[in-house]
Structure 1
């Protein structure tokens, strides 16, 4: 695996890649980074793909926009990165917040997407949107007694029912602590976007990928049922840390669709 920086709309964008062959761009859930795909990158590379995982601007090691940007803003900013990478129409996989960006890009710029994988689709009902709106939407200010550290841990515990992978939990809490002033931006942009028009407009061959233990499983099933022409695959159990929990099964589901 190698790392790189590219000049983007709001500054530098950090990424990592592995392998050669057809390109697969991977967009992470927020407030994480492209590091969420580290367990799968060598598997995707071994399957014959050039797997590229970006840090969304404002997350990981990528420079942030001046204010929380919208999903369409992030999709448009991604076009600059596709050009910098020399990618005309790569396959694109987006996980949770990344799925919103990927779907919006595919809906508005169909010529720039090969196959599309929406991994955990935030197509939320009003009740689901209200539930996620109860999560903390404020900076994580450092406290002299270190209580902000346990607050970050508690926040992710609440967002991860059924979790079992301690290294993954630790890794992803440290991602929150890397950007304490803006880790909550991902929730803001996700809950501010209605992806219904995007789902209707997508023309790319699409797979909805989920797993039965994750918090967007029901929403993902609804999205797949909404588009009868789309494929649907669900892995057993797991949480939204499925790439850490089941990297082999996850990568196999991805490559099976891309090779179909």
Structure 2
């Protein structure tokens, strides 16, 4: 089982002294696209106003541009420790026991606008690039990534649970992947799409899937696992699941 996570715009700073090695990342066949994007970001960082426009950041976020300028030389961290925010706080891999962390490292991956696909243990620097960013001289990131990334994602073995947000899922599909929608249910039985807490629920779901000793191999087995864990999960047909949570 592989759980494919969205990235986050916020990143932990720092790391160790090992610089970025694109050829050492998962799916080295993506190295060409990764190199093009990294070099584009490094060059773009020399023009701060253009970087702000392309990346959708404000003057107060110029440190994000400085991070991009240093992509080739900056310190790196395992990807699963680099990303921060609500989902990753709920996932909280740093609190896992050694055995659970080993399972999480083997089962978690991140869909990235800069790297395409990174495993939990792939070492990456802090950077700023979102799926909706428009880089000068390049087509949309979807057009850049889809030809190279689609066959990589299509070849992923076993059950894939795709928790990516819409903009990242649009970069390239994972055929046959299980998707999860989170709905909140009010006392009167009416439901609504969870917005603010969606990432927290998906983070807790990812933690469960990353650390369980079970190995579901299809959507039915996954639904059974989640229900045994006390979650209200509905199978909507095909490979779509709905996680129903109480309204708050």
TM over 0.5, shorter chain: no
Q: Which has the larger radius of gyration?
A: 2
Tell me which of the two structures has the higher relative contact order, counting C-alpha pairs closer than 8 angstroms and 6 or more residues apart: 2
> TM-score, length-normalised on structure 2?
0.34
> TM-score, length-normalised on structure 1?
0.32
